[in-house]
Amino acid sequence: IHGVWPDHTSFIMYDCDPLKKYKTIDDTDILTKLDARWPQLTSIKSIGLKSQSFWDYEYRKHGTCCADVFNQSVYFDISMKLTDSIDLLKILRTKRIIPGYTYTGDQISRAIKSVTQNNPNPKCTYIGRSLELKEIGI
């Protein structure tokens, strides 16, 4: 998971309340569950769990856009539930789409849509001369 971004049909929602403070998560059970689903890949695990800089960034950038409906704790709980309900790697494996092989965007999108019933938003990036899947928006 990269993040959970509230959506609006008329405009993109981000930086709704960037001055809102992130409350460091202290509960080790929640930290373990959150880290398993939303690891902070830019640092060593122990440092990431202590600084929580990526979760802080994502919450202030996107989570604050729904803060009038969901507090920070609920935002992260919903994030984990969504991740558990839509296991993209499992969907792709089940549809025989395996990392290290080449597939078209349509193949990837059809595989995901066949399970979620929604059109995914795959994004790719060039690595050298090769196009690689970077993220999938659901």
Give catalytic status of residue 2 as yes or no.
yes
Q: How far apart are CA 118 and CA 100, in angstroms?
A: 25
- Cβ count within 10 A of residue 82: 13
Q: How far apart are CA 16 and CA 69, in angstroms?
A: 13
Give catalytic status of residue 58 as yes or no.
yes
Helices 72-85 + 53-61 axis angle, to 10: 100
Q: Measuring CA to CA, which residue among 77, 54, 79, 67 is closest to residue 20?
A: 67
List the catalytic residues: 2, 58, 62
